[in-house]
Amino acid sequence: MRLGFVGTGTMGAPMAGCLIDAGHRLAVYDINPEAVHAMCARGASAADSPCAVAQQSEVVFTSLPGPREVELAALDPAIGILAGLRAGGAYIDTTTNAPAVARRIAEACRSRGIDMLDAPVSGRPPTMTVMVGGDDGVFAKYRPLLAAMAGSIFYVGGAGSGCAAKLVTQYLGYTNFIAAVEGMLIGAKAGIDLGTLARIVPFSAGASRTFDNIPRSVLPGSFAAGGTLDIVAKDLHLACDLAREVAAPAHLGLLAHDVLSRAQAQGWGQEGFPIAARILEAAAGAELRAAVEEMAPYQPEDPRRRNG
C-alpha cells in the first residue's frame, strides 16, 4: 500500500520503520531534514510538505508534538494533508491530541470523503499500545496497518475517543509520579534508607509502572527516563482541559501540572520529565539520591497471591 508519514521524530521514525518493514511504500515529511534522510536510508521517499506526502498516499499517518502542529499539518489550505489527500483515502493521527481537535479534523475529513482515525499510542513499536477513536468500520479496515506497529490495539469509540483514553492514561501516570516523589520525600525525611524503600514499594500498595522511574532515574540523579518535561506537561494540561470539558474533578492533575510548570520555568523543558522531582526536593529541603540495586520492571500483582 502507498502510505505517508508526517513527523518522523522520536516516535514517528520507529512507527514508520515498522510500516516499511511490513512491505509498504512510504513517503515522509518532517521539519527536520535529518529525520527525513534517516527514513530515506531505510527506503522511504522524501516529500517537501504534508500535502505532497498526501498526494502520493492512500493513507497518511501523523506523529506530532501536539494539537497546534496537528491542525497545521492536517488543515492548512496550502500545505496540509487534506489539501492533497484524495477522496477515499484515510488520515490516521497517532499524536496525543485534544479530543476536540480530533473531532474537528474528523468532520473536515468526512466532508471531503476521507476516513479518519485518532489513534494515540503508548510505549514503543512494535509492542506499543494504540487507543483508537473513529468509525468502527474504518477501524476494522485499517487495523492491519496499526497491527504492523503495535502489540495491543483497543477500539474506544467515536471520533476523539482514542485521544480521551490516552489523556486519561497520561493523567494517571504523571499524577502518580508526583505522588511517588512526595512519598519518597516523606520517607527520606523520616530517616528511611531510600534504596531499601525503593525495593519495598514494588511489593506494596504503592507499586506501579510509574514508580519505576524513581529508582531508574531520580535516585541516581540522571532524570533521563521517559518523555521530555515539555511533552509530559502538554499531555497533563490537555488531560486537565478534558476534565473541565466533561465536568470531572482534576484536583491532583492541577497540582501535578503546577509542579511540571515550575520545572519548565527553570528551563528544563527538554530534559526527561523526572527532573520535575527537583522542584519537590527543593520544597522539602531534601534530595532523593541513593544507590539502587538492579530492579525488575513492575509487574501487576496476581490477585491469587493476595493475603486478604
Are residues 172 and 291 located together in one domain of the fold? yes
pLDDT single digits (tens) 253-282: 999 999 999 999 999 999 999 999 999 999
What are 94's three cell numbers? 497517532
Which of 302, 306, 289, 299 lies closest to 198 in space, CA to CA? 289
For residue 191, give the CATH number of its domain. Answer: 1.10.1040.10
Q: Among the three residues 143, 158, 173, which one is the final residue of a domain in this structure?
A: 158
Are residues 6 and 128 located together in one domain of the fold? yes
Are residues 20 and 129 located together in one domain of the fold? yes
Q: Can you give the pLDDT at residue 304?
A: 44
Are residues 116 and 221 located together in one domain of the fold? no
For residue 112, give the CATH number of its domain. Answer: 3.40.50.720
Are residues 229 and 297 located together in one domain of the fold? yes
Q: Among the three residues 106, 135, 158, which one is the final residue of a domain in this structure?
A: 158
* Coil/strand/helix, residue 243: helix
299 burial class (0-12, 13-18, 19+ CB within 10 angstroms)? exposed
Q: How many domains does the chain have?
A: 2
What are 256's three cell numbers? 501535578
Q: Can you give the pLDDT at residue 307?
A: 40
Is 106 within 8 Å of 114 (Cβ atoms)? no
Are residues 81 and 189 located together in one domain of the fold? no
Are residues 291 and 197 located together in one domain of the fold? yes
Are residues 135 and 256 located together in one domain of the fold? no
Which of 168, 157, 158, 175 lies closest to 245 in space, CA to CA? 168
Is 259 within 8 Å of 174 (Cβ atoms)? no
What are 171's three cell numbers? 493523567
Ranges of beta strands (E only) in the chain are 2-6, 25-29, 45-46, 59-62, 90-93, 115-118, 121-122, 128-133, 150-157
Is 82 within 8 Å of 112 (Cβ atoms)? yes
Any idea which residues carry the catalytic annotation?
166
Are residues 116 and 18 located together in one domain of the fold? yes
Q: Can you give the pLDDT at residue 308?
A: 37
Which of 102, 156, 90 lies closest to 129 in space, CA to CA? 156
Are residues 230 and 301 located together in one domain of the fold? yes
Are residues 131 and 195 located together in one domain of the fold? no
Between CA 4 and CA 47 the distance in angstroms is 9
Between CA 69 and CA 46 the distance in angstroms is 19
Backbone angles phi, psi at 117, to 5 degrees: -130, 135
pLDDT average per 10 residues of sequence, the chain (308 residues)? 97 98 98 97 98 98 98 98 98 98 98 98 97 98 98 98 98 97 98 96 94 95 92 98 98 98 98 97 97 62 44
Are residues 90 and 224 located together in one domain of the fold? no
Domain range holding 233?
164-305
Q: Among the three residues 132, 158, 184, which one is the final residue of a domain in this structure?
A: 158
CB-CB neighbours of 145 under 10 Å: 21
Q: Can you give the pLDDT at residue 16?
A: 98
The pairing of beta strand 121-122 with beta strand 128-133? antiparallel
Helix (H) or strand (E) holding 195: helix 194-200
